[in-house]
C-alpha cells in the first residue's frame, strides 16, 4: 500500500486527504484536485463521496496542466516569453520614470531623517500600515482602509499570477487564501464603486479647492477604474478556472462563483475567458505601476517611505536655516528660493500629496478665505517638479523657471499661514508644511520683501526688544498695579534665586488687557506660597514669531540676550502664560530646566491643595479653547481641563473642534500687527463654534487668543452675549482674589 501511495503522490503531488482502498487494506491518500478528474490507478478505489473539503465537484472539463496559462501560446509566443517581455518593457519604463523623479531629490538639500529607527518603525506601523489617521473621515477613511488592505493582501496574488506564466501552480496559495482573497476583492470593488460615486455624484466640498486651476478627478477615476479592472480580471480568471475544473466555490468564493455562473458556456469559451482574465490582469498591473509616478497616485509608492522619514521632533520646533552650516552668518543666502533649496524630504512630501483636501479642510486660513490652501503648496511644488524635471528631456535651468516664491507660490499664501499645525495633524501621510512656509519666508525676508504691516514691529523688536516700541524700564510695570504697596512679583537681579521664574514675554508685559492676566497669575502664585520672580528690564521678546516670520538673525540676537539674563539667575523652573513663549523656550532655546505653561503649574497647585476654589456665583456654561501652541504643538490638553474641573460646580462643554483638532483663532502674536486678505475673521468663526456648543464663556490660555477672541466678540456684535477669559483670571475669581487693572505704562 505504501508503494502505491508513493507512486500516485509522485505523479500528482499532495493537496487533499482522500480515503482509498487497495485489496483488503484501507488507508487515506492526499491528492490534488485534478486527481479527482483522473481515472484511479489499477487496484485503487476512491471511496464514494470523497470530494474537496471547500469546493463541490462537477465533471472536470480539462486536466489542470492544460488550464494553466503557461501551457498556451499568445501571439505565437510561449507564455513565459511573453510575460518576460512585458516585465522587461514595463520594468524599463518604470525605472526610467523613477530615476527622473529621484533626480530632483538627489539635487535637494540634505535632511537628517535616518535617526531613531525604532521610533520611525513604530510610526510607520501605526500611521502607515495601521492607517491611524484615516478614520477621522469615517466614510472616506473606511474606503481607503479597505483599498489599502486589499492592496496588501492582493499584492501576493498579483505576484503569484506573474509567476504563473513561468511555473504552473505558482499562483495557488491554498483554499484559505483563495477564499479570503475573493472576499477582499469583493470589498475592494464595492469601495471603488462608492469612491467613484462620491467623486461623480456626492462631490464633497474638500475635493474641490477654490484656489485650484486644474482637477485631478479624472486621474482619480482612471485609477479607480484600473483597480476595478484588476479585481474583475482576477474574478474572471478564477471563475473560468472553477468551470474548467468542474468546481464551484460556493459562499467561500462568491466573486469567482458569480463569474463562473455568468460565463457558463463551452469549454472553449471558458478557456478563452481564463486566458483573457490572466493576461488582462497582468498587463493592467504593469500599466498601473508605470502610471503611478506620473501623477498624484505616486503616493501609492511614496506614502510609506514618507511616513517612515517624517519629522520626529516636536511640531513646534522649526528646522534650522541650514543643516550644512551651523554658523548663520556664514550662509550666502537664507531660506528657499528654488526647488533644490528644499530638503529632500520636503520634496518627497510633494510627491506624496494625495490631494485628499484634509489639510485645507482643517486650515483656519482657508476657512477664513485667505489666499492660503495648504494642499495647493504641495500640488504647486509637485507640478513644478514634474515640469522642471520632465520624464523626457533635459532639466529646466533655474534661470528659465518662474520664481518659486512670488510666482509659483504667492507671497499672500505664505503670510496667511498662522503655523497652527492643523494641516500637519490632519495629513494621513505626514506631510510637513510649517518648515516649508518658514523657509520660504526666510527667503522673502532675506530679499527685503517683508509686508509693510510687519516692518514697524520688526524694527521695534530689533531696536527695543519688543514689537510695541516700549522701553526696557516699562517691562516690569505690570507687577506694580495701582493700589498695591508691594510688587505682585519681584524682579530678580543677577545672582538672585527663586523657585519659579515667570517669563512674561512682550505682549503680556506691555498690553494693558494682558497685564491683567499676568496680575491674576501672580496673585495665585502668592496665595499658593510659591517663591517666584521675573526678569524685569533684562528680559526681551522671546523671538518666537520673529523666527517663524523668517527673521532668523533677529531671533538669534533676542535669544542670546535672554539666555544671558537667564544664566545670571538661579531658579528651578520657568513658567509663562504665553504658549508661544513656552514653545520658544522649550524648542528654540534648548533650556536644561523645565519650562511650564501656567495652566500646568496652577493645576499642580490645585491638586496639591495649595490653591482652593469656591463655586462661582453665576451658572453660565464654559468652554475651553485649546491654543495651538499649547495643545497641538506641545500636547498639553489635560492640565487646563484639570484646573477647570477643580472649580466646584463649573458647567463646561467641549466645542466640536477641540484638543488636537482645535480651530485656530488666528491670533498668533505678530498677526496682531499683520492684516491678511480674508473674507471672514478666524476669531469670528471660532466664536460661532463656541456658541453652537452652548458656551457663554470661552476660557483660553494664550494672550493672543484672548485679544483676538475679544476683538471677534466686538466685530461680530456679540458683546454682552459671550465673555472671553484667561484661565488665570477664572481661577483668581474662583479663589476669591481681586484682579484690578494693572498699570499700562507709558
CATH of the domain at 152: 1.20.950
Owning domain of residue 18: 2-51
- C-beta atoms surrounding 403 within 10 Å: 11
Q: Are residues 229 and 343 in the same domain?
A: no
Which residues 6+ apart lie within 8 Å of 225 measured at CB?
A: none
Largest CA distance in the chain: 116
Q: Report pLDDT for 203.
A: 83
- Looking at 262, 295, 328, the residue that finishes a domain is 295
In a domain, 152, yes or no: yes
- C-beta atoms surrounding 288 within 10 Å: 19
Q: Are residues 467 and 423 in the same domain?
A: no
Q: Report pLDDT for 260.
A: 86
Q: Compute the distance between CA of residue 558 and CA of residue 354 in angstroms, rounded to an integer.
A: 40
Q: Are residues 145 and 284 in the same domain?
A: yes
Nearest to 154 by CA among 257, 30, 284, 27: 284
- C-beta atoms surrounding 392 within 10 Å: 7
DSSP three-state, residue 430: coil
Q: Report pLDDT for 670.
A: 64
Number of domains in the chain: 4
In a domain, 66, yes or no: no
Q: Are residues 235 and 87 in the same domain?
A: yes
Torsion angle (degrees, nearest 10) of CA 556, 560, 562, 563: 120
Nearest to 213 by CA among 81, 410, 24: 410
Q: Are residues 639 and 572 in the same domain?
A: yes
Q: Are residues 579 and 672 in the same domain?
A: yes
In a domain, 111, yes or no: yes
In a domain, 481, yes or no: yes
Band of pLDDT at residue 485, cut at 50, 70 and 90: confident
**pLDDT, average across residues 231-257:** 87
164 pLDDT higher than 70: yes
- CATH code of the domain containing 328: 1.10.1060
Phi then psi for residue 572, to 5 deg, are -95, -35
Taken as a whole, the chain contains a residue count of 746
88 pLDDT higher than 60: yes
**pLDDT, average across residues 576-586:** 97
pLDDT in tens, 384-432: 999 999 999 999 999 999 999 999 999 999 999 999 999 999 999 999 9
In a domain, 302, yes or no: no
Is 481 in contact with 488 (CB distance < 8 Å)? yes
pLDDT in tens, 696-746: 999 999 999 999 999 999 999 999 999 999 999 999 999 999 665 444 343
Among 26-30, 56-60, 80-84, 612-616, which is the least confidently predicted range?
26-30
In a domain, 117, yes or no: yes
How does DSSP assign 604-673, residue by residue? HHHHTTSS-----S---EEEE---TTTTTTT---HHHHHHHHTSTT-EEE--SS-GGGPPP-S--GGGGT
Q: Are residues 534 and 474 in the same domain?
A: yes
Q: Are residues 360 and 425 in the same domain?
A: yes
Q: Are residues 471 and 356 in the same domain?
A: no
Q: Are residues 556 and 621 in the same domain?
A: yes
Nearest to 161 by CA among 248, 256, 44, 278: 278
Q: Are residues 170 and 213 in the same domain?
A: yes
In a domain, 276, yes or no: yes
In a domain, 59, yes or no: no
36 pLDDT higher than 70: no
- Looking at 426, 450, 474, the residue that finishes a domain is 450
pLDDT in tens, 94-135: 999 999 999 999 999 999 999 999 999 999 999 999 999 999
- For the entire predicted model, the pTM comes to 0.87
Among 27-36, 227-236, 447-456, 634-643, which is the least confidently predicted range?
27-36
Q: Are residues 167 and 250 in the same domain?
A: yes
Amino acid at each position: 500500500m505504501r508503494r502505491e501511495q508513493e507512486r500516485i503522490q509522485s505523479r500528482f503531488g499532495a493537496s487533499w486527504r482522500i480515503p482509498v482502498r487497495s485489496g483488503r487494506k484501507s488507508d487515506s491518500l492526499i491528492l490534488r484536485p485534478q486527481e479527482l478528474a483522473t481515472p484511479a490507478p489499477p487496484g485503487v478505489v476512491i471511496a464514494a463521496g470523497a470530494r474537496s473539503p471547500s469546493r463541490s465537484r462537477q465533471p472536470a472539463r480539462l486536466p489542470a496542466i492544460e488550464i494553466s496559462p503557461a501551457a498556451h501560446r499568445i501571439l505565437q509566443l510561449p507564455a513565459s516569453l511573453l510575460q518576460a517581455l512585458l516585465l522587461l518593457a514595463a520594468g524599463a519604463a518604470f525605472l526610467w520614470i523613477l530615476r527622473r523623479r529621484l533626480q530632483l531629490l538627489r539635487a535637494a538639500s540634505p535632511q537628517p531623517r535616518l535617526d531613531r529607527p525604532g521610533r520611525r518603525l513604530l510610526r510607520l506601523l501605526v500611521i502607515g500600515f495601521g492607517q491611524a489617521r484615516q478614520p477621522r473621515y469615517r466614510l472616506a477613511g473606511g474606503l481607503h482602509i479597505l483599498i489599502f488592505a486589499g492592496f496588501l493582501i492582493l499584492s501576493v496574488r498579483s505576484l503569484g499570477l506573474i509567476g504563473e506564466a513561468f511555473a504552473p501552480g505558482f499562483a495557488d496559495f491554498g483554499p484559505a487564501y483563495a477564499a479570503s482573497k475573493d472576499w477582499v476583492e469583493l470589498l475592494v470593488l464595492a469601495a471603488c464603486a462608492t469612491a467613484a460615486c462620491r467623486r461623480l455624484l456626492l462631490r464633497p466640498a474638500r475635493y474641490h479647492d477654490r484656489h485650484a486651476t486644474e482637477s485631478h478627478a479624472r486621474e482619480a477615476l482612471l485609477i479607480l477604474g484600473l483597480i476595478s479592472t484588476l479585481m474583475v480580471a482576477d474574478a474572471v480568471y478564477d471563475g473560468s478556472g472553477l468551470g474548467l475544473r468542474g468546481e464551484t466555490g460556493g459562499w467561500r468564493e462568491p466573486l469567482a462563483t458569480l463569474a463562473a455562473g455568468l460565463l457558463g458556456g463551452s469549454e472553449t469559451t471558458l478557456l478563452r475567458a481564463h486566458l483573457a482574465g490572466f493576461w488582462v490582469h497582468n498587463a493592467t498591473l504593469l500599466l498601473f505601476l508605470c502610471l503611478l509616478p506620473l501623477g498624484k497616485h505616486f503616493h501609492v509608492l511614496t506614502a510609506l517611505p514618507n511616513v517612515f522619514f517624517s519629522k520626529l521632533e516636536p511640531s513646534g520646533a522649526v528646522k534650522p536655516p541650514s543643516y550644512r552650516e551651523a554658523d548663520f552668518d556664514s550662509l550666502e543666502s537664507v531660506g528657499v528660493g528654488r526647488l533644490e533649496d528644499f530638503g529632500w524630504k520636503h520634496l518627497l512630501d510633494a510627491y506624496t500629496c494625495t490631494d485628499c483636501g484634509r489639510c485645507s479642510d482643517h486650515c483656519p486660513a482657508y476657512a477664513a478665505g485667505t489666499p492660503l490652501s495648504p494642499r495647493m503648496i504641495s500640488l504647486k511644488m509637485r507640478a513644478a517638479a514634474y515640469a522642471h524635471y520632465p520624464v523626457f528631456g533635459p532639466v529646466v535651468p533655474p534661470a528659465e523657471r518662474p520664481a518659486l516664491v512670488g510666482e509659483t507660490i504667492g507671497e499672500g499664501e505664505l503670510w496667511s499661514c498662522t503655523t497652527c499645525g492643523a494641516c500637519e495633524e490632519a495629513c494621513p501621510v505626514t506631510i510637513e508644511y510649517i518648515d516649508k512656509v518658514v523657509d520660504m519666508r526666510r527667503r522673502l525676508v532675506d530679499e527685503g520683501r517683508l509686508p509693510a504691516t510687519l516692518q514697524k514691529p520688526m524694527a521695534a523688536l530689533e531696536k527695543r526688544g519688543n514689537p510695541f516700541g516700549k522701553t526696557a524700564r516699562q517691562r516690569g510695570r505690570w507687577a506694580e498695579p495701582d493700589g498695591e504697596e508691594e510688587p505682585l512679583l519681584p524682579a530678580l537681579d543677577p545672582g538672585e534665586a527663586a523657585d519659579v521664574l515667570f517669563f512674561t514675554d512682550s505682549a503680556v508685559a506691555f498690553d494693558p488687557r494682558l497685564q491683567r492676566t499676568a496680575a491674576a497669575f501672580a496673585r495665585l502664585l502668592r496665595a499658593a506660597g510659591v517663591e517666584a520672580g521675573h526678569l524685569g528690564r533684562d528680559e526681551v521678546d522671546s523671538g518666537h514669531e520673529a523666527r517663524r516670520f523668517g527673521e532668523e538673525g533677529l531671533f538669534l540676537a533676542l535669544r542670546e540676550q535672554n539666555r544671558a539674563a537667564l544664566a545670571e539667575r538661579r531658579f528651578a523652573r520657568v513658567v509663562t502664560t504665553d504658549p508661544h513663549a513656552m514653545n520658544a523656550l522649550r524648542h528654540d532655546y534648548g533650556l536644561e530646566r523645565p519650562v511650564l505653561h501656567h495652566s500646568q503649574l496652577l493645576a499642580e497647585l490645585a491638586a496639591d491643595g495649595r490653591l482652593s476654589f469656591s463655586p462661582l456665583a453665576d451658572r453660565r456654561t464654559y468652554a475651553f479653547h485649546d491654543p495651538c501652541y499649547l495643545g497641538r504643538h506641545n500636547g498639553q490638553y489635560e492640565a487646563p481641563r484639570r484646573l477647570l474641573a477643580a472649580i466646584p460646580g463649573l458647567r463646561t462643554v467641549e466645542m466640536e473642534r477641540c484638543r488636537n483638532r482645535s480651530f485656530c483663532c488666528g491670533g498668533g502674536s505678530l498677526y496682531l500687527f499683520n492684516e491678511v486678505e480674508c473674507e471672514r475673521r478666524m476669531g469670528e468663526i471660532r466664536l460661532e463654534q463656541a456658541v453652537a456648543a452652548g458656551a457663554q464663556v470661552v476660557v483660553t490660555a494664550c494672550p493672543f487668543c484672548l485679544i483676538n477672541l475679544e476683538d471677534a466678540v466686538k466685530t461680530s456684535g456679540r458683546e454682552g452675549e459671550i465673555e472671553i477669559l484667561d484661565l488665570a483670571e477664572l481661577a483668581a475669581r474662583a479663589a476669591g482674589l481681586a484682579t484690578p487693572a494693572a498699570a499700562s505704562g507709558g
